[in-house]
Amino acid sequence: MEAIKSDALCYEYEKNCDETDNRDNNEDSPENCITGPQFINDLVAECKSLLVDGDRPNPYYCPDFADNFIRMAKLFPLWTAVMTEDKSSVATSSYSEEYFREVKQLVLKRKSAIRVDKFLVIHMRSLAGTTKILHALHQAKDDALEPRRKKKKLNEGVFMEDDARLTEHEDDDHAEVTLSENDVTWSEIRPCEDEIMENKIMFAQSMKTINIPGFKKNDHNSIDAYNVKNCENLNAHLNEKETWKGKSRDKKRRDKSGCTMKVYKERAEIMNQIKKIDGGILDCMMNVSNLIKHLLKDEPSYTIDYHCKSCNKDDKVQAVVVEVDVKPFYTHGIQSLTQVLQNQLHQKRKCAVCRSEDVTSAITIGNHMIIDIECLQWTQLAKNLGHPDWPGTLTISQVPEKIEIAKSTYTIQSVVEYVGELQSPEPCKMQSELLMGHYIAYVRRITGRWEVHNDILVGGKSIIATARMLFEKRKLSLLIYIKTD
């Protein structure tokens, strides 16, 4: 096998470096233009002359490295972020810093030593992709390097030539945009099992899908305009962003923003019905319990009609979201949910007029039962009630699958988790301006499989919940049960 005498190689390398430093530094002279490749060829020749036969493979010997090194040596000055000749561009080192940051992460991701040949392969692959994009930038036409004109044409929708393909999908509820390197393509999200199978569960009338128009192509949003095939020169768009990986970043920014823009517009339409636009700004911060109270105000979880036999006074109490007493949970756990709900529905009440206790009640339960357990997250509240060891978290597996209320069976359909910190100074006082966090929904399908719906995931797609996720401790805020019997 072949090996290299490291001492001799280092000596020859230092000797050649000293000779190179003593040469003329005039970069314009044609003699010095070949100094780099000539030095590399000499170095390769010296390396080959030092090869000797050994008894085992040499992991540091990479014969293909020299050819690629010589071919791309003239592009090495690009690593130092040479200033571009454009008045609108600013001298920056973001090119090299971003490049070496990613290469460093690729090399050190295993947190262990790496062989030289593997390091060279990683480095050369990354450099090859970088130089390919930089070549495209240098080949761009001069008339395409006008950022203002380019931006104006994008906003006017000049490049929208293939309207038929986009129109076919613009009203699809299950469509999302996927930006590829050469074109804008559409991918279909897998439909829910509830839409495939015959569902016998009774849903409330107001819980059906809200039909709100999606984006039209006359909105001129950036995704519609981002059609690479119809743009005259995307390389100018990359140069305008002052990054060699501008197109990749633009795609990542759209993917990481969550669901499609159509979903965000539907959300804004819903919030516009609840809150007013103040100064052109729509505040979308709201507690999930308050949001459901607005959306399902005509579909309560239960209604209780009270009648006083003494003064014949009638009264009605209804609740869209059931706020239960948390004290029994501290002692008996979430498994006592059925008993807590029954005690709340059958508790005695005095007449508000004559204060008589001779009051009858008639309970009407709805097709769903939405239970607010957000107060269980407050560890300080538990300490005040004499339970200092209460963790403030629960697992989805601990939530009862079925509950019996008024001779009817309810099955768990969804669990809402709160991610963040509850910053309200008073326990159980939900002040929206003091709450900073995010909600994640766990939905149980007819087959018993759980799905995770998180709109800040890449693409906003739902993922299948694993068994481990069901046993992880979480800050549960809402339990949604559906009447099945």
Which residues, other chains included, contact 396 with Cβ-Cβ below 8 Å and sequence gap of 6+?
Answer: 415, 442, 450, 465, 469, 470, 471, 474, 476
Q: Does residue 354 share a domain with residue 297?
A: yes
- Tell me which of 142, 162, 188 is where a domain ends: 142
Structure tokens belonging to residue 280: 């052109």
Q: Does residue 210 share a domain with residue 183?
A: yes
The reply to whether 270 falls in a domain is yes
Q: Does residue 299 share a domain with residue 382?
A: yes
The confidence band for 81, taking pLDDT boundaries of 50, 70 and 90, is very low
Cα-Cα-Cα-Cα dihedral sign, residues 227, 458, 444, 214:
negative
Q: Does residue 241 share a domain with residue 307?
A: no
pLDDT at 76 over 50: yes
Q: Does residue 81 share a domain with residue 47?
A: yes
The reply to whether 356 falls in a domain is yes
Q: Does residue 294 share a domain with residue 244?
A: no
Q: Which residues are 276's β-sheet partners?
A: none
Q: Does residue 367 share a domain with residue 399?
A: yes
Supply the pLDDT for residue 399: 92
pTM of the model: 0.47
Q: How far does Cα 349 stand from its chain's mean position?
A: 48
The reply to whether 279 falls in a domain is no
Q: Which residue has the higher pLDDT, 273 or 93?
A: 273
The reply to whether 266 falls in a domain is yes
* Residue 63 contacts residue 1 (beta carbons within 8 Å): no
The reply to whether 261 falls in a domain is yes
* Residue 35 contacts residue 9 (beta carbons within 8 Å): no
Q: Does residue 463 share a domain with residue 382?
A: yes
Residue with tokens 């009605």: 316
Q: Does residue 259 share a domain with residue 174?
A: yes
**Percent of the chain predicted with pLDDT > 90:** 8
The string of DSSP letters for 358-380 reads -EEEEEEE-SEEEEE-GGGG-HH
Nearest to 367 by CA among 323, 320, 414, 416: 320
Count the domains in the chain. Answer: 3
- Tell me which of 120, 142, 164 is where a domain ends: 142
Supply the pLDDT for residue 126: 75
Report how far residue 225's alpha carbon sits from residue 230's, in angstroms, rounded to the nearest whole number. Answer: 9
pLDDT tens digits along 109-152: 766 777 777 777 777 777 777 677 666 666 665 555 556 555 55
Q: Does residue 297 share a domain with residue 235?
A: no
Q: Does residue 431 share a domain with residue 383?
A: yes
The reply to whether 6 falls in a domain is yes
- Tell me which of 142, 170, 197 is where a domain ends: 142
The confidence band for 359, taking pLDDT boundaries of 50, 70 and 90, is confident
Supply the pLDDT for residue 1: 38
In which domain, by residue range, is 95 found?
2-142
The confidence band for 77, taking pLDDT boundaries of 50, 70 and 90, is low
Kind plus residue range of the DSSP H or E element containing 140? none
pLDDT tens digits along 193-230: 444 343 333 333 333 333 333 333 333 333 333 343 33
Nearest to 361 by CA among 322, 309, 319: 309
Q: Does residue 306 share a domain with residue 212?
A: no
Supply the pLDDT for residue 202: 37
